[in-house]
Amino acid sequence: MDLEEARHFYIGGRWVAPSSGATVAVVDPATETVIGSIAAGTAEDVDKAVAAASKAFATFPATPVEERRALLQRIAGLMESRAEELAFAMTAEMGTAIGFARSSQVPLAIAHLRAMAEVLDGYDFLVRKGTTAIVREPIGVCGLITPWNWPLYQITAKLAPALAAGCTVVLKPSELSPLSALLFAQIMHDAGTPPGVFNLVNGTGEEVGAAIAAHPGIDMVSITGSVRAGVLVAQAAAVTVKRVVQELGGKSPNILLPDADFTRVVPLGITSAFRNVGQSCSAPTRMIVPAGRLAEVEALAGSHAGTLVVGDPRNPRTTLGPIANKAQFDRVQRMIAVGLAEGAKLLCGGRGKPAGLDAGYFVRPTIFSDVTSGMRIAQEEIFGPVLCIIPYETEEEAVAIANDTVFGLGGHVQSSDLDHARRVARQIRSGQVHINHPAWDAHAPFGGYKQSGNGREYGAFGLEECLETKAILGYYPS
């Protein structure tokens, strides 16, 4: 398939023509040039995909767990063998630096499949409680709506548990980063996925996403996106009382306790905040530091920011590529201007593009200091390489600042005293908290409090979002 002119959808085990001739351009954010186009689906295309998924659901739940586990492993193996092609596709479609695509975007996507295969090794779909059997059964047809910032990672995070549960799926990847998803659909085909178990319809959220959310033949919708998109999906889904799993925005805090090793955790905090050019919903973009150590933190932060290399995402030396699309680039620029207008102290970066990068949606890595919690830049998700350093006087104030947000997706605590860090971590109102920058865990549940969403992804917790619970009384003799 020629991905530069990808005009088909994957439905019922084959590539099929769309119902209309509408298309969406694919833009390389590093050059601002159109590199191809994809078909834009309609509600009619969603109907076809749901019909195929519903037909497959008549038999797929009965497949042995071992077969579903083997399918997950085959998909993971094919992704590994085509990792370079997948990495280059993401660099082209959303500007992720090729080094980051190779080290994170592709491997972490594969890890979701491997982790779910591990979950199936020991998961009990039937548990005895006295004379009652508690049975966990697949919920049905799952509509998966994924974002542009982690294109493959979010697909496998949602697809792996659905397949493991015995569900069938209709996927709508972001129209802004569709190339890797089309490659992934071919991988699903080559892995021997039964026809109709996996279906892909490209298109916009307003058309395809809305049709999936409202469709009476879809039993669950899982969406990763903005709060606005999550609300619209939940409203559309409410009419048919389907389950909705939402992973939405974030404004994650990073509390540096006074006894932390600042020379270690400040650079790591910036690296975490600016990972994927800051385009991560759980990025710790609020660094909350002791007021008496503010000058030290500023010096360390400025020094580390100077080591970042912004430029051509195809160059292995590049740390940060461009912002993924023009709309997001414009928002980042507006929010930097807001920070300046609010009186925050600009340590580095600022408005405009880095010197020598006139074409492409490149942003100057920006750090504001002496930020107060009430500022817009401390409250709103910017989704770019913009960090706010917020001083605190007492530990109680640090926790209050951390929780002073409508979001609750991630959080970080830094301390040389693990018990101290644990106590503070327990007080942060978010779905995940990281202590001292630990290794990523594909089995750790991921999801949010408050406006960061509902439900959980990853590992056994993600699997159970795709299951219904049935009690069969009298199943066992008394």
- Alpha-carbon distance of 153 to 109, in angstroms, equals 4
Geometric angle at alpha carbon 381, from 377 and 386, rounded to 5°: 60
- Alpha-carbon distance of 410 to 447, in angstroms, equals 8
Q: Among candidates 304, 303, 308, 297, which has minimal Cα distance to 370?
A: 297
Please compute, for residue 211, the number of CA atoms within 13 A of its CA located in the half-sphere on the CB side: 20
On the 0-12 / 13-18 / 19+ scale of CB atoms within 10 A, 272 is buried
In the structure, how many helices (H) and strands (E) does the chain have?
Answer: 16, 21
Write the CA distances from 413 to 255, 428, 432, integer angstroms.
Answer: 5, 9, 11
Per the CB < 8 A criterion, the answer to whether 413 and 433 are in contact is: yes
Examine the residue annotation and report whether 393 is marked as an active-site residue of this protein: no
Three-state secondary structure call for residue 251: coil
Task: List Cβ neighbours of 37 (8 Å cut-off, separation of 6 or more).
Answer: 5, 6, 7, 23, 24, 25, 26
On the 0-12 / 13-18 / 19+ scale of CB atoms within 10 A, 116 is buried
Write the CA distances from 72 to 10, 13, 77, integer angstroms.
Answer: 19, 17, 9
Three-state secondary structure call for residue 211: helix
Q: Which residues pair with 172 in a beta bridge?
A: 145
Rounded to 5, what percent of the chain is helix, strand, coil?
40, 20, 40
Write the CA distances from 154 to 119, 171, 473, integer angstroms.
Answer: 18, 11, 38
Per the CB < 8 A criterion, the answer to whether 18 and 200 are in contact is: no
User: Of the residues 93, 247, 298, 464, which is catalytic?
Assistant: 247
How far apart are the two ends of the chain, measured CA to CA in Å? 60
User: Of the residues 142, 281, 388, 466, which is catalytic?
Assistant: 281
Residues, the chain: 478
Per the CB < 8 A criterion, the answer to whether 1 and 200 are in contact is: no
Examine the residue annotation and report whether 247 is marked as an active-site residue of this protein: yes
Active site residues: 247, 281
